[in-house]
Amino acid sequence: MSLLRTNNLTKKFGGLTAVSKFAMDIKEMEIVGLIGPNGAGKTTVFNMLTGVYKPTKGSIFFDGRDITGIKSHEVTKLGIARTFQNIRLFKELSVLDNVLVANHLRLKSNILFSVLRTPNYIRQEKHMYEKSMELLKEVGLDDVKDEMASSLPYGKQRRLEIARALATDPKILLLDEPAAGMNPQESFELMEFIHDIRDKFDLTIFMIEHHMQVVMGVCEKIYVLDHGVTIAEGTPKEIQNDEKVIEAYLGVD
């Protein structure tokens, strides 16, 4: 079943077309990659999908609903979560508090209930704590829950950012270059981790990544952008052997 689909998705900035007529179809539980040279329009696609940018043309359908142009917080409530190329954590908060903050998206009490400490609010607060601890355990960070986010090694900061995204109860997780800055061992662990969270949380995953070993190792389908235009789509094997993709990455003599 199709979970996230775009049709003729286009974004222009003045006279520059950053993305042109992008069409994709992601099914439930798939791990899909979006690759291309720097400046190809990959992050612009993510920004349209998550409500940061309003498309100039085209449509976005999520779980059977047209979500074109809706605001970012509404997109998140519907079940689309994302991470960023540059890690965006609350670095002066603890690891646990970073995840607790994200849980407030689903909180049904208002600020008055929190001030009055009503029984219902206390129950929800307890549930948020237990859920956050479970998420930290799932991503291997429960033993550092009280440490400042800024003190974590780079690979663990990535995991924390993903845990925070998972706290919003997404149906699909958008990962923007999750392997950026990782060493080979961390990249290998990330590949296992992505497969693991897909299966544990029944997630669909859509990822931008430059690290070809990671892309080819985890993705079941790949879309390739070059100067905002889709030049290829297919399985990892098909993409590896596509002449247009090779030319876009390596150039021609």
- Nearest CA among 224, 210, 205 for reference residue 85: 210
pLDDT of residue 32: 98
Q: Per the structure block, which two tokens stand in for 230?
A: 């889709």
pLDDT of residue 27: 97
Poorest-confidence range of 3-12, 87-96, 225-234?
87-96
Burial 212-228, CB ≥16 within 10 A → b, else e: eebbbbbbebbbbbbeb
pLDDT of residue 180: 86
pTM value is: 0.88
Poorest-confidence range of 77-91, 96-110, 126-140?
96-110
pLDDT of residue 87: 84
* Position 204 pLDDT exceeds 60: yes
Give percent of the chain above pLDDT 70.
91
Poorest-confidence range of 18-27, 43-52, 66-75, 80-89?
80-89
pLDDT of residue 197: 94
* Position 250 pLDDT exceeds 80: no
Domains in the chain: ranges and CATH: 12-18+37-80 (no CATH), 88-171 (3.40.50.300)
Mean pLDDT, rounded, of the chain? 90
- Report the pLDDT averaged over residues 191-208: 95
* Position 20 pLDDT exceeds 80: yes
Q: How far apart are CA 133 and CA 234, in angstroms?
A: 38
pLDDT of residue 121: 63
DSSP structure string for 238-252: HHHT-HHHHHHHH--
Written in H, E and C, the secondary structure of 34-101 is: EECCCCCCHHHHHHHHCCCCCCCEEEEEECCEECCCCCHHHHHHHCEEECCCCCCCCCCCEHHHHHHH
* Position 6 pLDDT exceeds 60: yes
Distances (CA, A) of 82 to 8, 168, 171: 22, 10, 11
Q: Per the structure block, which two tokens stand in for 38?
A: 């720097």
- Report the pLDDT averaged over residues 57-75: 96
Q: How far apart are CA 145 and CA 94, in angstroms?
A: 7
DSSP structure string for 129-144: HHHHHHHHHHTT-GGG
Helix (H, G, I), strand (E, B) or coil at 122: helix
105-124 confidence digits (pLDDT tens): 555 555 545 555 667 666 77
121-139 confidence digits (pLDDT tens): 667 778 888 899 999 999 9
Higher pLDDT, 218 or 250: 218
Give percent of the chain above pLDDT 90.
68
Poorest-confidence range of 23-27, 145-149, 223-227, 242-246?
242-246
